[in-house]
Structure 1
Amino acid sequence: MAIVGAGPTGVYTLAGMLAAAPSALSVDIFEKGACAGPGMPYSPDMNAPCMLSNIASRELPPVVTSLNDWLRSLDMSDLSGLGLAPGLISDEAFYPRVALGAYFTAQMAALIAQGRRQGHRIELHLRHAVTDVRPREAGIEVSWTFPGGTSGAVFADVVLATGHRWPDSVEEGGVMLQSPWPAEKIARLPEERIGVLGSSLSAIDVAVTVASARGRFAEAGGALRYEAQQGRGGFRLSLMSRKGLLPEADYWYELPLPELRRLAAIAGEATARSDGTLLERAYGAFLDDFHDADPDWLAALGGADLPRDEFAAAYFAPRLAADPFDWARKNLAVAERTVAEKRPTPWRSALLRAHELFEGLVPRLTDAELEAFHDTLKPVFTDSYACVPHASIRRLLALHEAGVLEVIRLGSDSRLVDGPGGPAVEYGGRRAEFEIVVDARGQRPMTLADLGFPSLAEGDLLSGPLRFDEFVLPLRSSSPGRIHCVALPALLRRHPFVQGLVNASEMGGATAGAILRAMRETGH
């Protein structure tokens, strides 16, 4: 088999294969970069130590060893290089992205060593860029380039585990937008008026990286303050989004999450496809379960009869009515208190569990239901799941208090324009002008054709609609080979929540299980 992409999803796929392989495996892993394990989101080449991950250490699925056990095995100098110290290691900690990248690099090395000791053939091909994946009569042909030339081979199973793709810049509305990565380039930006599209963790990372290059964050009087370097405090950062909201601070919840009996029953139905009523039935069960979990919260929202197309508006209304920094300050205080007390908030825990259940339901929806879900419920689940480390909120507040950060609510009628002094954003009869605009709105959904494998862009490749059932492409070809697509950008439309490391672990495990079952059934 071949694994294309050696980031976290590739790591978890290999781990799943080794955990249950009935016989000796032959695995080739292709990585276009110089390092296996971290992928783009956690690569030291793309991230700065000030950029934090948004997954608590207790949530990260272990590979060979747990994240905290691995960190505790490092010496002081190694920890310091990752922006950590022994006293910062805990189950509730949010670590720098580069620390998670180093962890996955170590875990990939440990998996390969373990697999070879068990008699498996595992070859890691670094600086090998796969250029095409094509079904053939003998299997799936993979072509690649490497520093010494080009080559190819045929495999029974090919796992597409390529992840995020970030061009250096993109054009939108005639305006060139800067990529938020690599962090080193963001830190070197000379411009003083910097607009940032987005207000989630990626946008926060941009703001913190720019500010850290021009000053420092320091504790003063029990609060975090931002101090610009002499002569470098004249810059202005503007985070811009349609709602103009900041993400909320990460909250405490117990594992396992509370069960939502009615919604879980619908999610567990054996029916593979919706008959057009699944979304509405699931929403009704969702409201009934929330009435049991936190009736006061649901009543304040609008009650158990709240129509689905009004749910998101009711959910966001209190925050939209407040100043985003005032809300962030109060929300942070509550989050810090509940985390210190390890006291869950019932509606938040229930919403996180509902997110998990809807994650399994969404691929079964009809196309019309899928559109309705994206328009109504998805923004709520995305917001709940996108909470950020407390340190990130503290840094935003410090930047705002220093007078260098603002949040702009664009509304639904904004547009980018190219002005005489640089790019500008027009919104609600107003105009914000910048010297540069950074696009930090996150990974956009992509098609198979966007992945960079020409044969997958051919219209007659597939035998049916691309729904990614079990992440296996439905090939029209009579090839005995199988293509397993766990490339996150290509999954986002049908699987809108597959963006975290927990998802990477689940998809890697599911893909490994499918390959091993097929190997037992076919004998290859």
Structure 2
Amino acid sequence: MAKRIAIVGTGPTGIYSLQQLLTIGEALSVTLFEKGEKAGIGMPYSPETASKSMLANIASVEIPPVVVPYLDWLTDQPAGKLAAYGLDADALDDRQFTPRLLLGQYFRDQLLSLVRRARAAGHVIDIRENTEVLDIVPGKGGLCLQTSAGMFEKPFDRVILATGHDFPEDDDAQDGYFPSPWSGLIQAEIPPTSVGIMGTSLSSIDAAMAVAIQHGRFHRQDDDLRFDINADTGLHITLMSRSGILPEADFYCPIPYEPLSVMTDDAVAACLSDRRPLDALFDLVRAELLAADPAYALRIGLRGLDADSFAPAYFADRAAADPFRWAKKNLAEVEHNKANRITVPWRYALLRMHEKAEDIVSGLSEEDRDRFDKGLKKVFVDNYAAVPSESIRRLLALRDAGVLSVLELGDDYEMTRCQSGTTIKAQGKTHEFRIFIDARGQKALESADLPFPTLRDALVQAGHEIPEVACDYSLIGPPDFAGRVSLGSIPYLMHDRPFVQGITACADIAAAIAQGVAKGRRRRLMGSVAI
């Protein structure tokens, strides 16, 4: 009998889950539930939450193929279609950052191709679009799903939750305030007025672009990018954060990653046996950087730094500089390095270290976790969240047009909302914004935030404030759900895995989930033989 599996959510995690399940060698009956109109696109890549100006923060070379690699899919697209998205069909490159809308089309096409192949191989695959899963209820023989179309007919052996990012609904956007860039901003008409954006990451840059393109257009002349603003407009956009630091541009490095020389899996795991785990972890970070880039280590005085002083030293020069001058200098550096395939050793070392460090975060004490969040975490996030060069060019073009500024809030600021707008008081000054967008990104969610009442109540009543999962993402906890629910929804994993972001993480999660399903099959077969 075919194993019955439900996949809730059809963004990248759901798609990669189906892809990996099809490799386990078992007859499958899979139903994919998508609350939107079209399965396979994913919230960050849909027309409701993105525009043509918004770039995906991942290059083709980094995207795990579903049926065909992303670059191959792009190459097969009509030249006119690519041109409409600002791409030259003759200049496609596997290191290129493309519009998010194109990536959404790729994933939908790949899902449909995957489904056709699965059906041809004898699997039963059903896609339910415009169908929101409202609850997961234990029943005789498995888990039943209550959906917006009613109770699903037959119980499932396993439910894979792949619901992706979870941001406030559009109803929370009111009085010129958007609780996230995905809460109706793309469809909203933004007047040419003072616009405040909380955050300086790529999400914040996307929000700024969504506003700016309503009041002007970018114009490229040779290697220069300009922003021509409409006449008689009072638009001014302010990006703000505690530090007032802009992200740096994405840098060149070898892919796939080369192994680290000091910070091995065993060395990181051993840190938890140390009397001071976080400090032991930083000793590895320091040793890796010293080995990789002695000149950088000397420049920031690395030998004299610890887990608490490293972050201030890392950011010191940028914090003291004008953010746009730094951005312009950094952009020139990374573009030169990309053209000449030059890797900056310390940047590459940090990029490879963050996932290793994440492996022991859940084992840190509360005190060390707080120290980690205030120190090493900020460095790692700054490093791996570098943005496309084109995004930096756009920021510089907006600044040159007099449309954009950056505000450093400091650690002690006040924010007040009212019908007329949002007021920020920071460092002795008052700033008023008619439109305000909170673009600080996804927050870690807890069991109480789950949208499935029966599952949520079972976890909360059992004392699981944070959903716990095994290495294959099978839920640990209430007997009715343990081993039957695979939790691949990133917001609920972020507490113990603070760097679990992006498409590669989605693919890794899916692979682990499929391995868990395969192990269950092997256990059943062994049980049959034993009988």
SS in 2 for 1:358: helix
SS in 2 for 1:61: coil
Amino acid paired to 2:513: T
SS in 2 for 1:477: coil
Aligned to 1:62: 65
Is the Cα contact below 8 Å between 1:248 and 1:388 reproduced in 2? yes
Does the C-alpha gap of structure 1 residues 55 and 446 become closer, same or farther in structure 2, counting only changes over 3 Å?
same
Residues 97-125 of structure 1: CA deviation (Å, up to 9, x unaligned): 00110010011001111111111111111
Per-residue deviation at 1:327? 0.3
Distance in 1 (alpha carbons) for counterparts of 2:144 and 2:254: 46
SS in 2 for 1:195: strand
Per-residue deviation at 1:352? 0.4
Aligned residues: 518
Distance in 2 (alpha carbons) for counterparts of 1:182 and 1:97: 17
Amino acid paired to 1:256: P
Amino acid paired to 1:10: G
Does the C-alpha gap of structure 1 residues 44 and 276 become closer, same or farther in structure 2, counting only changes over 3 Å?
farther
Per-residue deviation at 1:356? 2.2
The alignment status of 1:9 with 2:10, answered yes or no, reads: no
Distance in 1 (alpha carbons) for counterparts of 2:239 and 2:482: 50
Amino acid paired to 1:425: I
Which has the higher mean CA deviation after the structures are superposed, 348-357 or 252-261? 252-261
Amino acid paired to 1:449: A
Aligned to 2:54: 51
Aligned to 2:523: 521
Residues 281-320 of structure 1: CA deviation (Å, up to 9, x unaligned): 2211111111100111112222224110111111111100
Residues 405-458 of structure 1: CA deviation (Å, up to 9, x unaligned): 000000111121136842111111111101011011111111122131112322
Distance in 2 (alpha carbons) for counterparts of 1:487 and 1:438: 25
User: RCO (CA 8 Å, sep 6+): is it higher in 1 or 2?
Assistant: 1
Is the Cα contact below 8 Å between 2:455 and 2:481 reproduced in 1? no
Residues 334-353 of structure 1: CA deviation (Å, up to 9, x unaligned): 01000110110000000001
Aligned to 1:312: 311
Aligned to 1:443: 442
> In the alignment, which of 494, 510, 513 is matched to residue 511 of structure 1?
513
Aligned to 2:408: 409
Amino acid paired to 2:442: Q
| Correspondence list, 1:277-356, <5 A | 277-356=276-355
SS in 2 for 1:285: helix
Does the C-alpha gap of structure 1 residues 152 and 452 become closer, same or farther in structure 2, counting only changes over 3 Å?
farther
SS in 2 for 1:349: helix
Aligned to 1:144: 147
Distance in 2 (alpha carbons) for counterparts of 1:16 and 1:221: 45
Aligned to 1:239: 239
Identity rate of aligned residues, in percent? Answer: 39
Does the C-alpha gap of structure 1 residues 274 and 117 become closer, same or farther in structure 2, counting only changes over 3 Å?
farther
Is the Cα contact below 8 Å between 1:193 and 1:434 reproduced in 2? yes
Is the Cα contact below 8 Å between 1:137 and 1:480 reproduced in 2? no
Does the C-alpha gap of structure 1 residues 221 and 151 become closer, same or farther in structure 2, counting only changes over 3 Å?
closer
Does the C-alpha gap of structure 1 residues 153 and 301 become closer, same or farther in structure 2, counting only changes over 3 Å?
farther
SS in 1 for 2:372: helix
SS in 1 for 2:148: strand
Aligned to 1:127: 130
Amino acid paired to 1:264: T
| Correspondence list, 1:1-400, <5 A | 1-18=5-22, 20-136=23-139, 138-146=141-149, 149-151=150-152, 153-168=154-169, 176-181=177-182, 185=186, 188-220=189-221, 222-232=223-233, 234-266=234-266, 269=269, 277-400=276-399
Is the Cα contact below 8 Å between 2:238 and 2:404 reproduced in 1? yes
Distance in 2 (alpha carbons) for counterparts of 1:474 and 1:264: 28
Is the Cα contact below 8 Å between 1:175 and 1:418 reproduced in 2? no
Aligned to 2:493: 491
| Correspondence list, 1:416-455, <5 A | 416-418=415-417, 421-455=420-454
SS in 2 for 1:213: coil
SS in 2 for 1:351: helix
Which has the higher mean CA deviation after the structures are superposed, 349-358 or 215-224? 215-224
Q: TM-score, normalised by structure 2?
A: 0.92
Residues 390-410 of structure 1: CA deviation (Å, up to 9, x unaligned): 110001001001111000000
Which has the higher mean CA deviation after the structures are superposed, 388-397 or 259-268? 259-268
Distance in 2 (alpha carbons) for counterparts of 1:91 and 1:390: 15
Q: TM-score, normalised by structure 1?
A: 0.93
Amino acid paired to 2:253: Y
Does the C-alpha gap of structure 1 residues 478 and 490 become closer, same or farther in structure 2, counting only changes over 3 Å?
closer
Per-residue deviation at 1:80? 3.6
Alignment gaps of 5+ in structure 2: none
Amino acid paired to 1:499: Q
Is the Cα contact below 8 Å between 1:38 and 1:104 reproduced in 2? yes
Does the C-alpha gap of structure 1 residues 465 and 414 become closer, same or farther in structure 2, counting only changes over 3 Å?
closer
SS in 2 for 1:309: coil
Distance in 1 (alpha carbons) for counterparts of 2:77 and 2:443: 36
Amino acid paired to 1:220: Q
SS in 1 for 2:81: helix
Residues 124-163 of structure 1: CA deviation (Å, up to 9, x unaligned): 11111011123446322322113xx454542121111001
Does the C-alpha gap of structure 1 residues 366 and 64 become closer, same or farther in structure 2, counting only changes over 3 Å?
farther
Per-residue deviation at 1:357? 1.1
Distance in 2 (alpha carbons) for counterparts of 1:276 and 1:171: 46
Is the Cα contact below 8 Å between 2:167 and 2:180 reproduced in 1? yes
Residues 442-496 of structure 1: CA deviation (Å, up to 9, x unaligned): 1111112213111232223467974433222113325675111110111111111
Distance in 2 (alpha carbons) for counterparts of 1:40 and 1:265: 34
Is the Cα contact below 8 Å between 1:186 and 1:206 reproduced in 2? no
Per-residue deviation at 1:231? 2.8
Is the Cα contact below 8 Å between 1:194 and 1:434 reproduced in 2? yes
Is the Cα contact below 8 Å between 1:133 and 1:142 reproduced in 2? yes
Does the C-alpha gap of structure 1 residues 463 and 187 become closer, same or farther in structure 2, counting only changes over 3 Å?
closer
Does the C-alpha gap of structure 1 residues 77 and 517 become closer, same or farther in structure 2, counting only changes over 3 Å?
same
Amino acid paired to 1:45: E
Residues 159-184 of structure 1: CA deviation (Å, up to 9, x unaligned): 11001122246879x99444312676
Which has the higher mean CA deviation after the structures are superposed, 24-33 or 274-283? 274-283
Residues 351-371 of structure 1: CA deviation (Å, up to 9, x unaligned): 001012113332343444333
Per-residue deviation at 1:266? 3.3
Alignment gaps of 5+ in structure 1: none
Per-residue deviation at 1:212? 1.2
Which has the higher mean CA deviation after the structures are superposed, 439-448 or 162-171? 162-171
Distance in 2 (alpha carbons) for counterparts of 1:290 and 1:162: 37
Distance in 2 (alpha carbons) for counterparts of 1:43 and 1:27: 24
Distance in 1 (alpha carbons) for counterparts of 2:336 and 2:184: 32
Which has the higher mean CA deviation after the structures are superposed, 24-33 or 476-485? 476-485
